[in-house]
Amino acid sequence: MKIEALVFDLYGTLLDVRSLADAVAAGIADTGDPETVVTAWRQKQLEYTWLRAAMGRYEDFWAVTASALDYTLERLGLSVAPEARRRMMDGWLTLRPYPEVPAALARLTPRTLTVLSNGSPRMLDEALRFANLHRAFAHVLSVDEVRTYKPTPAVYAIAERRLALAREAILFVSSNAWDAAGAQAYGLRAALVNRTGAPPERLGAMPSMVVGDLSELAGRVGP
């Protein structure tokens, strides 16, 4: 079936989470390595979404991200002033897009483009506006609608319901292999953006397509 719509994950797929390092570096000064903090923060943030989904104890992504930051700083033995912590959090609103993203989205715009993210609505709106990507998308969808997190099937159902298309007509795009697997298991077609050349996950739901970046995706999907 022809792909009629593309649904994108945001963090790590369109926006580079590593660009948080600037805000982190300003907050910790010379007391730690910013990249180490970002990596640990991101991993704990995801762990908390999975655990909260499993426990049925939803908090929005901003609150989860704040809890993950506090854990990470304590785990790494770092102390930051309240204003520095606020700037670190605000870094999620000013993430940089990957270099190829704007041009790739422009090539794909004959189709309906949508964001489906763990992010809370305010986070998504501010981040997309800062990155100047907000005009590319017909819909910006948050897990807030169902109060749980990816890869819970109810999250992917949001896109199917909003787009009113057959699952096979929707291509879900993510650089997170577990997210692509969740979408594929739900019944959407999934494209994994594998920028790091990581081996395939053993989750029993292989993506329909694997690409190195969004430029390759645009070329594969075609006009």
Of 46, 61, 93, the one marking the end of a domain is 93
Same domain, 103 and 48: no
The answer on 59 and 163 residing in a single domain is no
Q: Which pTM was predicted?
A: 0.96
Given the residues 9, 16, 144, 179, the one annotated as active site? 9
The per-residue pLDDT for 26 is 87
- Listed residues 93, 124, 141: the one ending a domain: 93
Claim to verify: residue 211 and residue 105 sit in the same structural domain: yes
Q: How many domains does the chain have?
A: 2
Q: Is residue 1 pLDDT above 80, yes or no?
A: no
9 in active site: yes
Give the residue from 72, 93, 114 where a domain finishes. 93
How distant, in Å, are the alpha carbons of 34, 41, 116, 159, 167 from that of 89? 14, 11, 21, 28, 35
- Taking the C-alpha atoms of residue 131 and residue 97, their distance in angstroms, rounded to an integer, is 6
Is residue 56 located within the same domain as residue 116?
no
Q: Are residues 10 and 99 in the same domain?
A: yes
Please determine, for residue 30, whether its predicted confidence score (pLDDT) is greater than 80: no
Q: Is the pLDDT of residue 59 over 90?
A: yes
79-93 pLDDT, tens digit per residue, is 999 999 999 999 999
Q: Is the dihedral of CA 112, 99, 180, 90 positive or negative?
A: negative
Q: What percent of the chain has pLDDT over 90?
A: 94
122 and 199 co-located in one domain: yes
Helix count and strand count (H, E) for the chain:
9, 8
- State mean pLDDT over 128-145: 98
Return the CATH number at 24.
1.10.150.240
Count of residues in the chain: 223
pLDDT score of 42 more than 80 = yes
Residues 112 and 217 in one domain: yes
Q: Are residues 62 and 106 in the same domain?
A: no
Domain with 177 in it: 5-16+95-221
Question: Is 119's pLDDT higher than 90?
Answer: yes
Comparing C-alpha atoms, which of 96, 87, 84, 72 is closest to residue 19? 96
Q: Are residues 212 and 136 in the same domain?
A: yes
Domain co-membership, 24 together with 126: no
| Together in a domain, 110 and 178 | yes
pLDDT for 53 equals: 98
Q: Clarify whether residues 214 and 112 are in a common domain.
A: yes
pLDDT of residue 31: 74
Q: pLDDT digits over 184-214, tens only?
A: 999 999 999 999 999 999 999 999 999 999 9
